[in-house]
Amino acid sequence: MAENGEIFYFRKLEVYKAARKLTNYVYDLLEKYPQNEMYALCNQMRRAVVSVASNIAEGMSRNSDKEKLHFLGISYGSLMEVVCQMDISLDRHYISEEQLHSFETQAISIQKMLFGLSRKISERTN
């Protein structure tokens, strides 16, 4: 059973909501990428950005705090993967500085929420 006895508890988490919003933002950007990137960079970015929210959902649905922390760590790693891919997108002129800045603002917020949630779970465990 998930946190607080609710099956879909993760849906109430602001970090999950923010990760979904970021996913939609990245998907919208990818619609404008060149066709030759559809099965390369775009595919990798889609998988990585979806992984951010997916691992929050999976982790918060686990019974043990150790597992929750493990999946939150994977979520953070996926977020950093998308940061790297957005940097490459800027280098390739697929996105603008403004688009990168908007992405980074969202990513930083998610990063802070992931760290806060992880800290809360860790303190509860200790």
pLDDT tens for residues 93-120? 999 999 999 999 999 999 999 999 999 9
Q: Name the percent of the chain lying above pLDDT 70.
A: 95
Looking at the domain assignment, is residue 115 inside a domain?
yes
Q: Rounded to 5 degrees, what angle do the CA atoms 95, 84, 108 make? A: 85
Residues 6+ apart with CB under 8 A from 122: 65, 69
User: Which residue range is the domain that position 79 belongs to?
Assistant: 6-125
Q: Quick check: is 1 in a domain?
A: no
CATH number of the domain encompassing residue 93: 1.20.1440.60
pLDDT of residue 2: 52
The domain total for the chain is: 1
Task: Please name which of 60, 61, 103 lies closest in space to residue 80, comparing C-alpha atoms.
Answer: 103
In this prediction, residues 73-81 reach a mean pLDDT of 98
Q: What is the pTM of this model?
A: 0.92
What average pLDDT does the segment 20-29 reach? 98
Which pLDDT band holds residue 124 (cuts at 50, 70, 90)?
confident
Alpha carbon separation from 45 to 11, 54, 62, 67, 89 (Å, rounded): 23, 14, 26, 25, 10
